[in-house]
């Protein structure tokens, strides 16, 4: 049932669908951009006072900007972070991923095909390669943080979030606990030592070992015992637990699980190259024993058919060629059941029209989607009511696509024109409105967001609001130095403007009123 809460006047909580170590996860709806989102409610223990909340929010913004640089389809985007007015709760608004965590597929009684497990590990390795180049270290890689989407794409969750919540543990949580999950924690994490990209490699070794043998690397009573095994106990070679694991793959996993970080593979690129021999080549058909658990997505597909188009809608149920291929004979459905379905369709149509009036196009499409297939099975795909539902679905999808980058660009250009006409207040309101949307879609350091922030700062400066301009341009300069480098032309331009602003604020002649 919907929670009824609305966050920051735009994000609605619809349904709780998960719990994690840091908080609860909700299926949400972004009323501004008309799209589904995931909303993670961070438990109040993470932010225990207004002072810590403000410090925490600053840390989050810094980390989120860096995390946004991991431009990879395997990294779900973080759209927004919202502190409530009491400073007691933090809401992280994220991309909603339709997938299943690896924990659902680990079963000691049903070992996963080697190619399935290796394809997951290889996809995780590509994600880590992009992250480590930023550099960002995940620190909490585990099966619960790895999803396999319907199309077989592997998604790595919570990049930077665990580190943000527990960085400087003594000050933020006062627990003194090391960062990570005990079953996948590298020895240096247990000891509280320096975390590096090779820490993630150890965790990847734990995950791959578990996928191949169906049980965690170590088990025992209590967290302390688990952590000490990671520090001192040798891992069991995979071929003792499963004879069909290739010897070279066993050697790679043992290499990943070495106790000393410097003894592990030099980087994740080396790991990927050593996984490649066990991946299917492009064009190869799926092996009969390589598809994984019944009903599970196939992570080998992106290696067998890279850059393949999406599957046709309804392709799995397409009729076979033959004498009956064009016949649409719906099953016999009792009259009472057919009438109940027609009543449901009428209710859906009313709900659909109400959502369209509120410009909730994505939700309107989802409402229709829920009834299209049951109606087609019961009434036939050529039934007028079913065809009308498909038309509704197409119309709402088209309306949703209309809220595009072109629309944002038009709004921004209109605001800039107002600024040139001297309507600075209206121009600032327009640019800030577009910036809010761009931030939620592409983050704070996309090219579009950077231009908007620069324009807002210059408008504020032109209006004589020097301190406000500094508040916009100073963090922009810091972001540009990280993302584009200090030698970039725009970075240098903003730096020069900041020098003039600071001279003005210090009482110098530049920019002083006559």
Q: Which residues are catalytic?
A: 140
Q: How is residue 119 written in tokens?
A: 């394809």
Q: Which two tokens stand for residue 379?
A: 């009434």
Q: CA angle at residue 134 from 61 to 121, to 5 degrees?
A: 110
Task: Find all residues with CB under 8 Å of 156, minimum gap 6, and list them.
Answer: 74, 75, 124, 127, 128, 138, 141, 145, 146
Neighbour tally for 99: CB within 10 Å: 20
Say if CB 300 and CB 280 are below 8 A apart. yes
What are the tokens at 191? 């000891």
Residue 265 and residue 267: Cα distance in Å, rounded? 6
In this structure, are residues 271 and 88 in contact, taking their beta carbons and an 8 Å threshold? no
Output DSSP code: residue 94: E
Q: What's the CA gap between 440 and 81, in Å, rounded? A: 10
List Cα–Cα distances, 270 to 126, 138, 265, in angstroms: 11, 18, 7
Q: In which element (H, E) is residue 170 found?
A: helix 169-172
Q: Give dist(CA 286, CA 129) in Å, integer.
A: 26
Rounded-to-integer distance, Cα 33 and Cα 217, Å: 43
Q: Residue 358 CB: number of other CB atoms within 10 A?
A: 11
- Give 450: exposed, middle or buried? Use CB within 10 Å, 0-12, 13-18, 19+: buried
Q: d(Cα 226, Cα 503) in Å, to the nearest integer?
A: 58
Q: Which residues of 294-316 are buried (b: 16+ CB within 10 A; e: fewer)?
A: eebbbbbbbbbbeeeeeeeeeee
Q: Which positions ≥6 away from 11 have C-beta within 8 Å?
A: 28, 29, 30, 31, 37, 39, 80, 82, 91, 93
Angle at 488 between CA 483 and CA 491, to 5 degrees: 75
Neighbours of 469 (CB within 10 A): 23
Inter-residue contact 352 to 395 (CB < 8 Å): no
């Amino acid at each position: 049932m919907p929670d009824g809460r609305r966050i920051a006047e735009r994000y609605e909580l619809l349904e709780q669908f998960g719990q994690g170590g840091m908080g609860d996860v909700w299926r949400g709806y972004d009323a501004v951009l008309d799209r589904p989102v995931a909303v993670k409610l961070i438990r109040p223990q993470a932010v225990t006072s207004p002072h810590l909340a403000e410090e925490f929010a600053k840390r989050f913004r810094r980390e989120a900007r860096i995390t946004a640089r991991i431009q990879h389809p395997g990294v779900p985007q973080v759209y927004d972070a919202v502190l409530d007015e009491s400073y007691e709760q933090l809401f992280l608004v994220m991309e909603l991923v339709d997938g299943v965590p690896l924990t659902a597929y680990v079963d000691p009684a049903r070992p996963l095909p080697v190619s399935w497990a290796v394809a997951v590990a290889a996809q995780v390795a590509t994600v880590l390669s992009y992250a480590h180049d930023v550099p960002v270290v995940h620190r909490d890689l585990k099966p619960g943080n790895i999803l396999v989407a319907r199309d077989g794409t592997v998604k790595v969750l919570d990049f930077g979030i665990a580190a943000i919540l527990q960085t400087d543990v003594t000050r933020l949580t006062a627990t003194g606990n090391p960062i990570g999950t005990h079953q996948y924690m590298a020895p240096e994490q247990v000891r509280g030592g320096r975390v590096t990209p090779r820490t993630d490699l150890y965790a990847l070794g734990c995950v791959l070992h578990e996928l191949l043998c169906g049980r965690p690397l170590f088990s025992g009573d209590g967290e302390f015992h688990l952590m000490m095994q990671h520090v001192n106990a040798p891992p069991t070679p995979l071929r003792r637990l499963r004879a069909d694991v290739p010897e070279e793959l066993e050697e790679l996993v043992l290499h990943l699980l070495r106790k000393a970080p410097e003894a592990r593979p030099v980087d994740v690129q080396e790991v990927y190259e050593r996984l490649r021999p066990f991946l299917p080549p492009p064009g190869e058909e799926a092996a009969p024993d390589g598809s994984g658990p019944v009903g599970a997505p196939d992570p080998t597909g992106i290696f067998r058919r890279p850059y393949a188009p999406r599957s046709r809608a309804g392709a799995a149920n397409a009729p076979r060629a033959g004498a009956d291929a064009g016949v649409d004979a719906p099953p016999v459905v009792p009259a009472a059941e057919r009438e109940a379905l027609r009543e449901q369709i009428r209710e859906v149509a009313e709900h659909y029209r109400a959502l369209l009036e509120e410009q909730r196009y994505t939700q309107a499409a989802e409402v229709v989607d829920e009834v299209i297939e049951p109606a087609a099975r019961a009434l036939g795909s050529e039934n007028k009511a079913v065809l009308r539902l498909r038309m509704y679905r197409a119309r709402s999808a088209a309306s949703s696509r209309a809220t595009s980058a072109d629309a944002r660009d038009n709004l921004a250009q209109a605001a800039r024109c107002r600024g040139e006409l001297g309507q600075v207040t209206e121009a600032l309101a327009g640019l800030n409105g577009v910036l809010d949307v761009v931030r939620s879609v592409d983050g704070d350091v996309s090219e579009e967001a950077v231009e908007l922030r620069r324009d807002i700062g210059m408008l504020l400066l032109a209006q004589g609001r020097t301190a406000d301009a500094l508040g916009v341009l100073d963090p922009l300069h810091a972001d540009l130095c990280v993302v584009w480098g200090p030698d970039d032309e725009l970075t240098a331009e903003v730096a020069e403007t900041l020098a003039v602003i600071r001279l003005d604020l210090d009482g110098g002649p530049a920019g002083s009123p006559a």
